[in-house]
Amino acid sequence: MKNRSIAIVALLLTTTSTTVAGAMPQESGTCPNKKASQVDSETKPQGGSERCGLGVSLFGWGIGLFGPKCPDKKATYPAHQVCKGEENMGTRCVKQSDLRVTLEECTCSVAGILGTGLALPNCSCSASGQDGGTVEDFETQNCTPDV
């Protein structure tokens, strides 16, 4: 199960890294009047998930009640810019750098409520130490418009 999850995460990160970059940057010798476009940071669940909470097992199927869903892993993609072809006079979109994707492993845990004797299910995530891949970051540079 874990090997399949790792393979799925690797495939998703490879695919996302390729598609997030969007259109190719413009050549440096021209001034295409295009700018880089902002993409907000985003956290996405990776792999399967389980419900944290009171659990019941019936015929081998686990059912969790009253708790949050907890993914196997979470990938956090940093805010970056891509070349979408947006018009902007006197500029071009060029690659700046690669930014790291943070990968976290998640597990169900229990958080006690002080003084009540009750415990609530919780999903806690921590750095996995695995390489989450990268996303390309672009920037807008000034140039002399073609005439």
* Domain-located, residue 58: yes
Would you say residue 3 has pLDDT above 80?
Answer: no
* Domain-located, residue 95: yes
Question: What pLDDT, on the 0 to 100 scale, is given for residue 53?
Answer: 74
Would you say residue 9 has pLDDT above 50?
Answer: no
Question: Which domain covers residue 35, as residue numbers?
Answer: 2-142
Residue 10 is inside which H or E element, if any?
Answer: helix 2-20
Beta bridge mates, 55: 64
* Domain-located, residue 115: yes
* Domain-located, residue 147: no
* Domain-located, residue 65: yes
* Domain-located, residue 46: yes
The tens digit of pLDDT for each residue in 51-104 reads: 887 655 556 565 556 678 899 999 999 999 999 999 999 999 999 999 999 999
* Domain-located, residue 102: yes
The arithmetic mean of pLDDT across residues 115-131, rounded, is 79
* Domain-located, residue 103: yes
- CA 21: distance to chain centroid? 13
- CA 72: distance to chain centroid? 14
Structurally, how many domains does the chain consist of? 1
